[in-house]
Structure 1
Amino acid sequence: MADSTAVVWFRRDLRVADQPTFLAAADAADRALALFVLDPALLEPSGGARKNFLYGCLRELDDALGGKLLVVKGDPADVVPRVAKAVGASTVHVAADYGPYGRQRDEDTEKALADAGAELVRTGSPYAVAPDRVKNGSGDPFKVFTPFSRAWADHGWRAPADTDASTVTWMDPGKKDGGPRAVQVPADEKIDSELPDPGEKAALDRWSDFLDGGVQGYQTDRDLPAKKGTSGMSPYLKYGCVHPRTMLADLAKRKSSTSASAYRTEIAWREFYADVLFQRPDSARENYDKKFDALPVEYGKDADEAFAAWQEGRTGFPIVDAGMRQLRAEAWMHNRVRMIVASFLVKDLHLPWWWGARHFMQLLVDGDLASNQHGWQWTAGCGTDAAPYFRIFNPITQGERFDPEGEYVRRWVPELAGVQGKAVHQPWKLRDGIPGGYPEPMVEHKVERQEALDRYEKVKAAR
C-alpha cells in the first residue's frame, strides 16, 4: 500500500521550530510535501526590501528542510490543488490567516481543494491568541487596547510546539507530471536599504541577544532612537521566522522584570491590531472611526509637493527628516520616530494618513498590514484610541526629549553633523544660520497645530 501524503503550505510561518502544522501533518500522513507559493497578489504591492527579506527566509527554510521546499508561482486557489493532486495529498496543512486577503484566498483555495477531493486543515496562526478569541463580558470584540490586553493575558496561550525539521518525513518534490513546475526563489532585487539577516536562525540569534542584554533596559531605552533599545524582531515576526508564543515563553521566565512586561505589552498591541483588522477589514483602507470622514485633508499640487518633501526627509524638522532617511537606508524606522513622522504628516501637513501608511508599506521590511494601518490611525486620531486627536506631537520637543544629545539626527542628517547637542533640533536658531544644504522648516508647527484642532471641529460636529 502506497504511503499517504500531505502538503504543508508555508505562508507567514517560515521556520521549523514551534510548528503545530508539522504535528498535524505528521498525524495525517506518512510523509509531506513542503510548499511555498509566490503569490503575485502579495508580491506585486511589496517593496524590494520586503521581497528580498522573504526570499532570504525561503532559502534558509529550504536549507533547513534539506533542499526539499517546493516553490511555485501563481494564484494559490489554482496551484495548491494542482500540487496536492500531483502528489496524491488528501490534506493541505496551514496556519490560519486572519487578514482580509488571506481569509478570502484560503476560502477560495479550500473550495477548490474540496472540489478536487482534498481538505484544507488549519492549525494554529501567526499569533499567540488568534483573532476573535478574546471577547468582552458581553461576548463582543474589544475596541480599546487596555481591556483587550488584560483579557488577552488572562486567556493565555499554548506552550511552544516541540518540532524541528525531522518532525515530518519530507518528500523530495522532484518533477511531477501534471503538477505546476517548480521555480527558483527569485534573485534579490537591487535596493539601497541594508536589511537584517533573514531566516529562523538569525531570528533566534537576535532574540537570544536581546534577552541577554537589551530586554533589561527595554522599558526606558525603547523610546530613544539613538540607542539600540528595541529588539529588532518585527521583520522576523512578520514572516513567522519565530512565533510570538516562543518569545512569550522566554519572557515568562522574567516575571519580575518590568521591561519584560513592557515587551509583552508590545506583543499584545500586535495581536490587538490583528483582532481589530479581523473584525473590521475595511479599516485597512478607511477610517476606523467613520466620523473622521468629515475631517478636511489636503489634495492637489501643493499637497503632492509637501508629501514628496516628507518622503525625502527634507521638511526642515530634523527628527522628522532623520526618521524618513533612516526608512530609506534601513527599510525600518524606530517606533517612537514612526509616531513623530506620522503626526507631522497628518497634523502639520494635513495630508491623508493612508498616503503615509502606503509609503511605509512600500519601504518597510517589517510592513505588517494590521500593525501599520492601525498604528497610523492611532496617530491620526481616527483609530481605536478613545480621545486621540488632541495628541499632536511637537517635532521639536519630541526630538529634544527622545534624542537629547542629537545623536540620532546627526547620524541620519549629515548636513547637521557639525551641530552639537540638542541645538541640532532647531538649526534655524544657530548664530551662523542653518548649515548649507539643509532646508528651512516647511511649516510653523504652532500655526499648524491650531489648524489641525480647527479642522477637528468638523469631526466633533459630525458626532
Structure 2
Amino acid sequence: MKPILLWLRRDLRLADNPALAHALRTGQPVIPVYIHAPEEEAPWSPGAASRWWLHHSLAAFSRALEAAGSRLILRRGASLETLLRLVDETGAGQVLWNRVYEPALIERDRRIKAALKDRGLAAESFNSALLFEPWTVSNKSGEPYRVFTPFWKACCATGLPDDVETTPESITAPTCWPDGDHLEFFDLLPRIPWDQGMAACWQPGEDGAHRALEHFLAGAVLTYKTDRDLPGQPGTSRMSPHLHFGEIGPRQLIRACRRLQAQGAGAAAGASLEAFMREIGWREFAFHLLFHFPHTPEQPLDERFADFPWRDARDYAADLEAWRRGRTGIPLVDAGMRELWHTGWMHNRVRMIVASLLVKNLRIPWQTGARWFWDTLVDADLASNTLGWQWTAGCGADAAPYFRVFNPVLQGERFDGRGEYIRRWVPELKPLPDRYLQAPWTAPAGLVPREYPRPRVDLGESRKAALAAWEQLKGASRSEASGTP
C-alpha cells in the first residue's frame, strides 16, 4: 500500500487530530512530517519566544509518535519542493494536512494543493484549529461580522461542536522511513540563555496542554468569571500557547466544559464556564476577522486611523525602549512588561493596559507594539494579536463608540488592589505602602527607591492629547465626507 504523508504544522497532537484520524481510517501506512519553512510565513515569521516553544513542542510530539510506533520526520526547506521530494522518496499517494488561516499561508497551501493534484496525488485538508471555519459564519446580509456579540450569538445558535477524534494507540508505520533532519538543525533555541523563566513556567506539548487544562478545570474555572480579571491571582486557563501550536483543540475545551456543566457545577461555576467558552469565542472571532480582512495585521480595519497623528519615531525611541523594558514608571505597566519578558506571557487585562499606555498615552503606533508582542509572546498568534492591538487602539472591530483610554492607576486599584501582581514583578516597590503602590510619584520624598524611574508620561495630560488627536481625526473624516476643503 502506498503510504500517506501527514504534513503537520500547528497541530502537534495525537488526540482530536482530523487529518491524522482520516489517514488512520484508510489503513495505509502514515508518515508524519514537519517542514520548517519560516520564510514562507513572512512578514510574520515566528518570533523568538514562539521558536522556543516550537522546539520543545516538536520534541514532545516526536516522543508521543514514537510511543505510538511511529516517528516524526523533520525537514528544512521550501514546503512544496520538500513534499514532492518526500513523495518521490516514499512512493506516497496522498498528502493530508490540517488547515492554517494566516493570509500568507492560505495562499501557499492553495498553491501546494493545486501542484500536488497536478502531479496526480490526492491532497486534502481538514479543520483542527477552530470551532467554525471563517467562511461558514456570516450575518443576514452574507457579510462577515465586525462585532463580537452578534458573531458569537450566531455561533451558539448553530451549536458549539464538541465531537472529538479519539487518540490512536498505534500508528501504522511504513516499511521504510525517509531520512530526516535533527531538531537542533532548525536553530530554534536562543544562543544566549534568556529562556530560564519560560522553562520554569511552561510545559510545551500535548501532555503539558492536558495537565494545564486539568489543573484549570479542578479549580480556577469555577471562579473564572470574576478571577480572570485579577492578574495577581491564578484565575486564567493559560491555554493560549497550547491552542496556538495545536497541542489541544477548541472542541476538546468545549467538550471538557460541557462535561463539567453536566455534572451540575452550580450557578456561579456555570456562569464561569460560559464566560470561559465565550473567551474561546473571541479566539474564533479573531480568526474570522483575519480571514475576511487579511490586511489588518499591518493596516487598521477602521480606515480613518490610517491618518492618525502618531508621534515621529525619532521622538519616541526612548519611551518605546522604556516600555519594552518595564521602566515606564507606571507600576502596573512595568509589571506586565516584565512578566512578558520573563515568562513569554502576560495576563490579558494587563495586555490591554500596557497597549493602551503605548498607543494612547505615548501615541506610538499600535503596529510597533504588536511587533514586540509577536517576538516575545509564547502564544503569539497573528489573529488574536491583531485583534487585541486594534481593539485597544480603537481602530479595529468591536471598537467602543468612544475613544477608550485605560487609566493604569485606576485599573491597578480595581484589579490589583493589594498589589500582589506589582510586588511580584516590580520587587523594588515591595516596601511601598498600598496607598502609593499604583502611583508612586505621589508618595512622600524618600519612600520610592531611587532605582525605580519617574513616570515617562503624565497620564492626565497625555489622555487629553490622545482625545484631541481623536477629535482631529474625526473632524478630518467629517470634512472629507462632506467635501469641505
Provide the TM-score with structure 2 as the length reference: 0.90
In 2, the alpha carbon distance for the partners of 1:124 and 1:283 equals 23
Q: Does 2:446 align with 1:440? A: no
Match for 2:232 among 207, 220, 226? 226
Give 1:54's aligned amino acid.
L
Aligned positions of 1:124-139 closer than 5 A: 124-139=127-142
Matches within 5 A, 1:375-386: 375-386=388-399
Q: Give how far 1:191 is off.
A: 4.2
Aligned-partner residue type, residue 59 of structure 2: R
Distance 1:386 1:197 in 2: 35
**How far 1:46 moved relative to its partner?**
2.4
Q: Matched residues in 2 for 1:314 and 1:350: separation? A: 17
113, 117, 124: which one aligns with 1:114: 117
8 Å CA contact 2:97–2:126 kept in 1: the answer is: yes
1:398 is the counterpart of 2:401: no
Shift of 1:228: 0.6
Residue 443 of structure 1: SS of its match in structure 2?
Answer: coil
Distance (whole Å) between structure 2 residues aligned to residue 240 and residue 284 of structure 1: 21
Distance 1:35 1:289 in 2: 40
Contact 2:300 2:306 in 1 (8 A): yes
- Cα offset, 1:387, TM superposition: 2.7
Q: Work out whether 1:81 is the aligned partner of 2:79.
A: no
Deviation of residue 419 (structure 1)? 1.0
Cα distance in structure 2, aligned partners of 1:438 and 1:285: 34
Q: Given that residues 273 and 370 in structure 1 are in contact (C-alpha distance below 8 angstroms), is that contact kept between their aligned partners in structure 2?
A: yes
Q: Which moved more, 1:34-43 or 1:199-208?
A: 34-43
Pair 1:304-2:317 in alignment: yes
Deviates more, 1:6-15 or 1:360-369: 6-15
* C-alpha distance in 2 between matches for 1:321 and 1:26: 50
Change (3 A) 1:389 1:296: farther
**1:278 aligns to what SS in structure 2?**
helix
> Which range moves more in the overlay, 85-94 or 360-369?
85-94
Letter in structure 2 aligned against 1:201: D
TM-fit CA distance, 1:167: 5.9
- CA RMSD, Structure 1 to Structure 2 (Å): 1.7
Per the TM alignment, residue 280 of structure 1 is displaced from its structure 2 partner at its CA by: 0.5
Corresponding letter in the other structure for 2:460? K
Give the match for residue 460 of structure 1: 474
List aligned pairs for 1:155-194, cutoff 5 A: 155-166=158-169, 168-171=171-174, 174-175=177-178, 181-186=179-184, 188-189=189-190, 190-193=192-195, 194=197
State the distance in 1 between where 2:420 and 2:75 align: 46
Match of residue 58 from structure 1 = 58
Residue identity matched to 1:307: L
Equivalent residues of 2:391, 2:399 under 8 A apart: no
Deviation at 1:32, TM superposition (A): 1.1
Give structure 2 stretches of 5+ with no counterpart: 262-266, 479-485
Residues 322/293 of structure 1: CA separation in 2 closer, same or farther (3 Å cut): same
- Which residue number corresponds to residue 275 of structure 2? 262
What is the one-letter code of the residue matched to 1:75?
A: A
Counterpart Cα distance in 2 of 1:310 and 1:271: 30
Asked whether the equivalents of residues 90 and 177 of structure 2 are also in contact (C-alpha less than 8 Å), the reply is no
User: Does the CA contact (< 8 Å) of 1:144 and 1:385 recur in 2?
Assistant: yes
Cα separation, 2, equivalents of 1:414 and 1:74: 45
CA contact (8 A) 2:310 2:363 kept: yes
**Could you tell me which of 299, 305, 330 is aligned with 1:292?**
305
Are the equivalent residues in 2 in contact too, given 1:68–1:171 (CA < 8 A)? no
Q: Count how many residue pairs are aligned between Structure 1 and Structure 2.
A: 456
Residues 359-403 of structure 1, C-alpha deviations (whole Å, 9 max, x = no match): 000000000000001100000000012435521001111111111
- Looking at structure 1, the residues matched to 74 and 176 of structure 2 have their Cα atoms a distance apart, in angstroms, of 10
AA paired with 2:169? S
- Aligned residue identity for 1:164: T
1:345 and 2:343 equivalent?
A: no
Counterpart residue identity of residue 211, structure 2: D
Paired residues of 1:21 and 1:93 also in contact (CA < 8 A): yes
- Percent of pairs identical after alignment? 39
Any idea what SS the aligned residue of 2:32 has?
strand
Secondary structure of 1:281's counterpart equals coil
Q: Provide the residue aligned with 2:482 in structure 1.
A: none
1:178 is matched with none
TM-fit CA distance, 1:223: 0.7
Aligned to 1:416, which of 425, 429, 434? 429
The whole-number CA distance in structure 1 between the counterparts of 2:308 and 2:61 is: 46
Q: TM-score, normalised by structure 1?
A: 0.94
Q: Secondary structure at the match of 2:93?
A: strand
Residue in structure 1 matched with residue 348 of structure 2 by the alignment: 335
The CA deviation at 1:157 is 4.1
Contact in 1 for aligned 2:370/2:386 (Cα 8 Å): yes
- In structure 1, runs of 5+ residues without a counterpart are 176-180
Following TM superposition, by how much is the alpha carbon of 1:426 offset from its aligned partner in structure 2, in angstroms?
Answer: 1.3
Structure 1 residue 162: Cα displacement: 3.0
